[in-house]
């Protein structure tokens, strides 16, 4: 038997080059060139056999397939015939034709224990059945082969195939055990890399905590203990078992500094440290509750308390509001931030309101790494750093919404501007002019006026060319030249109610009046309201909104405080609602989580319009577009 084994052994060991295209994870490896002893090859077949082998080694597979077929026809029995069947099966596997490979390999007989040709045929038969989706058959053949006399490399390959079949059948735990058995056979570098990739993927994504605990006991030292410990620490953390997670993570960090997940382990350890320094449900609130702006601060506090639900009878509200009085003093606001961070361990801060206090508070919050949502109109405050946010109705927002609606919805292309000579008027004029040009429109006229004036005849005449025309007579009446579609007046409702009748007096009619949120007041109709019929302006809050959420807010606010909410109340309510809604999720543990979630916020359905935060931390809102119609202000968009 021994002499026969040695004689036939040279016939064995099929292979293909490295990984076959389309082999989906089944590695096939280069072996020794198969040899057949001269006395095993009939003399008439020897030239044909040599040609077939040369074609095979050169990967001229179609030619080799034909030549091995000719050998089988001329010598249908014996070792050379069996070898040719195996070679043809090998080629069909290479070509991805697994059904034909099965036809070639399935009937190859076993001649004696350890028959190398039979073992090779069975191996590629297991490969073919796996590729055909017949995983149980592949697994069964592989299990039988493991009882045969095999090289360590071939044993590893078979364990790998069995592992692949188990994995496809969602038996990740047993697949892992098979891959580990394969690795113990010390396969070549290519197969070892493949197996480790499978092992690490299973450990990292597919095992339950109980299974991870089992393999942790089984593989305490060496590979893959580091991967198991990290995966177990992460799984404990994700199931909120922080104590066990810390314990396992400590072992991982102590023993596995060279593991690819070491840096991630360090990040998790840092997260645990930060979690101890933060009360995830504590929200700081800094407002001017005393001093000259106390009335605004206390009104905003009403809205924040309502949004937080801290006095809501509903059980289980975890939010805690910790309120600090800024007194409208920058130093006091800065000290309040420090106290909220170090003593109260807040996860985030809402406020302050004023420009100077908000600026100092924002600097302190950025330094401490705590998210702060300021309620200020101060431009550029969010540029202080990535922990600073702003939620406020800005001039730029109003102008963008107004111009966009005028151009895209009303089809307007030419505009004029009549503005007061104050900071507000100048800012609005510049923003409006730039935005009109951005949309491809034209500015046909710009006039300013002293903000104490009540007679605007000079400015109106200048806009319409009346001041350049000769004095009118009964036969020749001067007519205004109106070469613009709309007139933008960024001023208060009081001033607008004076300007509109004077426009009509100079026969400047048939144009669209455009304004800002300063127009949004019932007092707009006190004087000659017919002259502002059809006027359009924007605002972030509209008490008569058609949106149910706004109506619910107004009703709840009135029930709670016995008064109608203001624009500032609505802004403060939205700011608190955004923070509280994020904190009620289960994935906020540290301050960076809150910061990241705020940046990810998109179109939050706020009372003051859909709200998002830009990468800079500044707010973006979709404002209400309002129109005057029949002595009422209505929402049109």
- Note whether 435 and 533 are same-domain residues: yes
Is 192 part of any domain? no
The pLDDT of residue 26: 36
DSSP secondary structure code for residue 486 in this structure:
E
- Note whether 428 and 555 are same-domain residues: no
Is 197 part of any domain? no
- Per-residue pLDDT of 426-479, as tens digits, reads 999 999 999 999 999 999 999 999 988 899 999 999 998 876 655 554 555 678
| Cβ neighbours for 439, distance < 8 A, ≥ 6 positions apart | 403, 404, 407, 408
- Note whether 266 and 295 are same-domain residues: no
Looking at the predicted structure, is the pLDDT value of residue 193 above 50?
yes
The pLDDT of residue 37: 65
Q: What is the CATH number of the domain that holds 140?
A: 1.25.40.10
- Note whether 335 and 433 are same-domain residues: no
- Note whether 411 and 429 are same-domain residues: yes
Average pLDDT value for residue range 265-288? 96
The pLDDT of residue 317: 76
- Note whether 497 and 447 are same-domain residues: yes
The pLDDT of residue 316: 65
Distance between CA 583 and CA 443 in Å, rounded?
Answer: 47
Is 404 part of any domain? yes
Average pLDDT value for residue range 226-242? 96
Looking at the predicted structure, is the pLDDT value of residue 307 above 60?
yes
Q: What is the CATH number of the domain that holds 370?
A: 3.40.50.2300
> For the stretch 5-33, what's the b/e string if a residue is b when 16 or more beta carbons lie within 10 angstroms of its beta carbon?
eeebebbbbbbbeebbeebeebbbbeeee
Share of the chain above pLDDT 90, in %: 79
- Note whether 21 and 84 are same-domain residues: yes
Overall domain count for the chain = 4
- Per-residue pLDDT of 595-628, as tens digits, reads 999 999 999 999 998 999 999 999 999 899 999 9
Is 75 part of any domain? yes
Give kind and range of the element (H or E) at residue 635: strand 632-635
The pLDDT of residue 9: 35
Structure tokens at 439: 């949309």
Distance between CA 265 and CA 249 in Å, rounded?
Answer: 7
Per mean pLDDT, which range of 20-34, 55-69, 616-630 is the poorest? 20-34
Grouping H, G, I as helix, E, B as strand and the rest as coil, residue 114 is: coil
Looking at the predicted structure, is the pLDDT value of residue 18 above 80?
no
**Does pTM top 0.85 for this prediction?**
no
Residue listed under structure tokens 């203990």: 225
Is 101 part of any domain? yes
Is 165 part of any domain? no
- Note whether 385 and 455 are same-domain residues: no
Average pLDDT value for residue range 587-593? 94
- Note whether 366 and 378 are same-domain residues: yes
Average pLDDT value for residue range 212-234? 97
Structure tokens at 66: 């034909």
> For the stretch 59-71, what's the b/e string if a residue is b when 16 or more beta carbons lie within 10 angstroms of its beta carbon?
eebeebbebbbeb
The pLDDT of residue 44: 87
Domain boundary among the residues 516, 539, 562 is at 539
Domain boundary among the residues 240, 258, 276 is at 276
Looking at the predicted structure, is the pLDDT value of residue 338 above 90?
yes
- Note whether 305 and 224 are same-domain residues: no
Is 173 part of any domain? no
Domain boundary among the residues 111, 132, 150 is at 150
- Note whether 337 and 251 are same-domain residues: no
* DSSP string of 317-376, one letter each residue: ---EEEEEE-TT-HHHHHHHHHHHHHTS--SEEE---SHHHHHHHHHHHHHHT--EEE--
The pLDDT of residue 611: 94
Average pLDDT value for residue range 577-587? 91
Is 125 part of any domain? yes
Looking at the predicted structure, is the pLDDT value of residue 23 above 90?
no
Distance between CA 537 and CA 524 in Å, rounded?
Answer: 12
The pLDDT of residue 451: 86
The pLDDT of residue 32: 45
The pLDDT of residue 468: 60
Comparing CA positions, the residue from 559, 541, 551, 549 lying closest to residue 312 is: 559
Structure tokens at 274: 């930060």
Looking at the predicted structure, is the pLDDT value of residue 309 above 70?
yes
Looking at the predicted structure, is the pLDDT value of residue 368 above 60?
yes
Domain of 596, in residue numbers? 277-392+547-617
- Note whether 490 and 562 are same-domain residues: no
Count of Cβ atoms closer than 10 Å to residue 205 Cβ = 9
The pLDDT of residue 379: 84
Share of the chain above pLDDT 70, in %: 91
């Amino acid at each position: 038997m021994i002499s026969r084994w040695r004689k036939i052994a040279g016939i064995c060991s099929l292979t293909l080059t490295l990984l076959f295209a389309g082999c989906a994870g089944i590695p096939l490896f280069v072996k020794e060139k198969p040899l057949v002893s001269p006395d095993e090859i009939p003399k008439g077949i020897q030239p044909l056999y040599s040609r077939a082998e040369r074609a095979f080694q050169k990967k001229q597979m179609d030619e080799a397939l034909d030549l091995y077929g000719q050998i089988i026809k001329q010598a249908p029995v014996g070792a050379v015939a069996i070898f040719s069947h195996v070679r043809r099966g090998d080629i069909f596997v290479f070509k991805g034709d697994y059904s034909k490979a099965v036809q070639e390999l399935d009937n190859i007989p076993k001649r004696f224990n350890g028959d190398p040709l039979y073992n090779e045929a069975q191996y590629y038969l297991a490969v073919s059945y796996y590729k055909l989706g017949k995983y149980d058959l592949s697994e069964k053949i592989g299990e039988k082969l493991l009882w045969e006399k095999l090289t360590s490399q071939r044993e590893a390959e078979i364990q790998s195939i069995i592992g692949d079949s188990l994995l496809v059948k969602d038996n990740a735990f047993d697949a892992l055990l098979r891959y580990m058995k394969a690795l113990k056979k010390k396969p070549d570098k290519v197969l070892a890399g493949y197996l480790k990739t499978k092992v690490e993927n299973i450990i990292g994504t597919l095992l339950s905590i109980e299974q991870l605990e089992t393999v942790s006991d089984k593989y305490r030292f060496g590979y893959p203990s580091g991967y198991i410990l990290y995966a177990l620490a992460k799984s404990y953390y994700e199931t909120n078992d922080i104590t066990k997670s810390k314990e396992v993570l400590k072992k991982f960090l102590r023993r596995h500094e060279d593991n690819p997940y070491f840096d991630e382990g360090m990040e998790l350890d840092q997260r645990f440290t930060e979690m101890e320094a933060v009360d995830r449900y504590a929200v700081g609130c800094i407002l001017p509750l005393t001093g000259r702006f106390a009335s605004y601060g206390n009104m905003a506090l009403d809205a924040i308390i309502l949004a937080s639900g801290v006095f809501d009878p509903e059980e289980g509200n975890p939010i805690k509001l910790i309120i600090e009085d800024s007194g409208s003093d920058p130093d006091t606001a800065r000290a309040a931030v420090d106290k909220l961070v170090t003593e109260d361990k807040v996860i985030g801060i809402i406020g302050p309101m004023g420009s100077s206090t908000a600026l100092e508070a924002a600097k302190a919050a950025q330094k401490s790494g705590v998210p702060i949502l300021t309620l200020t109109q101060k431009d550029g405050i969010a540029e202080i750093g990535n922990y600073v946010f702003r939620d406020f109705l800005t001039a730029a927002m109003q102008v963008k919404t107004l111009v966009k609606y005028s151009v895209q919805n009303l089809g307007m292309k030419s505009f004029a501007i009549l503005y007061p000579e104050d900071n507000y008027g100048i800012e609005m004029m510049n923003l409006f002019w730039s935005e009109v040009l951005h949309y491809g429109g034209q500015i046909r006229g710009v006039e300013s006026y002293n903000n104490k004036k009540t007679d605007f005849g000079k400015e109106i005449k200048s806009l319409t060319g009346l001041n350049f025309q000769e004095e009118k007579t009964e036969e020749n009446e001067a007519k205004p030249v109106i070469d613009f579609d709309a007139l933008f007046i960024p001023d208060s409702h009081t001033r607008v109610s004076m300007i509109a009748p004077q426009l009509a007096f100079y026969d400047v009619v048939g144009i669209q009046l455009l304004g800002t949120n300063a127009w949004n007041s019932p007092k707009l109709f006190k004087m000659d309201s017919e002259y502002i019929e059809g006027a359009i302006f924007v605002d972030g809050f509209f008490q008569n909104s058609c949106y149910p959420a706004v109506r619910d807010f107004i009703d709840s606010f009135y029930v709670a405080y016995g008064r109608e909410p203001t624009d500032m109340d609505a802004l403060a309510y939205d700011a608190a609602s955004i923070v509280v809604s994020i904190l009620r999720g289960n994935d906020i543990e540290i301050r960076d989580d809150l910061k990241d979630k705020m940046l990810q916020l998109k179109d939050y359905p706020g009372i003051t319009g859909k709200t998002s935060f830009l990468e800079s931390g500044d707010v973006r809102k979709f404002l209400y577009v309002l129109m005057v119609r029949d002595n009422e202000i209505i929402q049109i968009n």
